[in-house]
């Protein structure tokens, strides 16, 4: 029953937030990066933080460093949604929050250079997750897929409190109801995409540290392929990678090719869930098998991605 009560409470919190967002004009206006054409409430993804709050209280205040890091990430991201803050301030807070995550995961016995690289990668992944939030339902579908994979893994490995994942999934379902629509009631905003990325990365980090198997990073491979190759192309074209754009693969599909955007979001989540199921199977094999699988998968995904994107650009993009 506690899960049902949490669901009802999160729905009420989301509806209350809508009233506040409408009153204080917290909205998402279409811009160069947008794939929508109408004004929509921004920041509905704040519900992910409140899902974590429920777990924090119900669990007797477990994972305090993680929760503190999530809190400062949520606050700074919400302020950025409302006021637009400087990149330097946001990155400073992001690194501070990742440092708190590292305290929770107790990783400071690693060499300093490994920690530094890991911090940079984690901050990069969080921001990439945020940048991928460009069409209705994509953050919802993709996060449900990753969260579902973590739940499956946790049933046998027990690397994290299962309730943290369950309450997170409940929050995602509430958000999905309002976001996975042709005309969304709300968007996640930076506060939502950053918060859910932080939660999922904390759980993923716990999984990798518990098992010692880096292959689980492929739980983020679909987003990773799109984000990395998009950044590489923009650097090649000498574009400012920090400026708004609509050059992700899913954006070309939805905006230029005219594919239904909800279908695209669903397929991104489905693709990641399918890859994740393969990862769960291969993770039971030896290291050589894991490495061969990982490299083969990334090469195959990259090949399909690059040829598919090149086709879309040739056919639909006016140069």
Residue pLDDT tens, the chain, 319 long: 899 999 999 999 999 999 999 999 998 766 545 554 567 899 999 999 999 999 999 999 999 999 999 999 999 999 999 988 898 999 999 999 999 999 999 999 999 999 999 999 999 999 999 989 989 999 999 999 999 999 999 999 999 999 999 999 999 999 999 999 999 999 999 999 999 999 999 999 999 999 999 999 999 999 999 999 999 999 999 888 877 788 999 999 999 999 999 999 999 999 999 999 999 999 999 999 999 999 999 999 999 999 999 999 999 886 5
CB 272 within 8 A of CB 141: no
Evaluate the CA torsion angle 191, 195, 196, 197 in order and state its sign.
positive
The answer to whether the Cα torsion of 277, 214, 143, 156 is positive or negative is positive
The phi, psi pair for 186, rounded to 5°, reads -155, 160
Phi/psi of residue 138, nearest 5 degrees? -70, -40
Contact assessment for residue 113 and residue 237, using Cβ atoms and an 8 Å cutoff: no
Residue 283's nearest CA partner among 215, 218, 221, 217 is 215
Structural domain including 204 reads: 2-316
* This model's pTM is above 0.85: yes
User: How many domains in the chain?
Assistant: 1
- Tokens 């199921």 found at: 277
Residue 190 is labelled as binding a ligand: yes
136 is in an annotated binding site: no
């Amino acid at each position: 029953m506690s899960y049902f009560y949490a669901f009802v409470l999160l729905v009420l919190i989301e509806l209350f937030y809508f009233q506040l967002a409408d009153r204080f004009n917290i909205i998402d206006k279409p811009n160069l990066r947008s794939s929508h054409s109408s004004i929509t409430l921004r920041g509905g993804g704040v519900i992910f933080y409140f899902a974590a709050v429920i777990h924090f209280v119900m669990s007797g205040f477990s994972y305090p460093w993680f929760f503190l890091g999530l809190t400062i990430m949520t606050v700074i991201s919400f302020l950025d949604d409302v006021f637009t803050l400087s990149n330097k301030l946001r990155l400073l807070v992001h690194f501070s929050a990742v440092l708190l995550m590292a305290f929770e995961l107790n990783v400071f016995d690693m060499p300093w250079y490994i920690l530094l690289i890991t911090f940079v990668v984690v901050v990069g992944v969080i921001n990439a997750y945020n940048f991928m939030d460009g069409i209705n339902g994509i953050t919802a579908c993709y996060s449900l897929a990753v969260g579902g994979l973590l739940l499956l893994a946790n049933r046998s490995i027990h690397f994290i409190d299962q309730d943290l994942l369950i309450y997170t999934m409940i929050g995602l379902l509430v958000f999905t109801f309002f976001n996975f629509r042709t005309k969304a009631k709300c968007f996640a905003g930076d506060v939502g995409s950053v918060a859910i990325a932080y939660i999922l990365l904390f759980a993923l980090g716990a999984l990798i540290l518990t098992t010692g198997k880096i292959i689980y990073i492929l739980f983020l491979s679909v987003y990773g392929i799109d984000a990395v190759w998009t950044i590489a192309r923009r650097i090649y074209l000498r574009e400012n990678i920090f400026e708004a754009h609509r050059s992700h693969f899913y954006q070309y599909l939805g905006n230029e090719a005219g594919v239904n955007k909800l279908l695209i979001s669903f397929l991104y989540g489905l693709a990641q869930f399918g890859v994740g199921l393969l990862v769960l199977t291969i993770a039971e094999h030896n290291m050589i098998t894991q490495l061969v699988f990982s490299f083969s998968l990334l090469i195959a995904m990259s090949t399909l991605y690059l040829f598919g994107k090149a086709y879309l650009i040739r056919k639909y993009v006016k140069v």
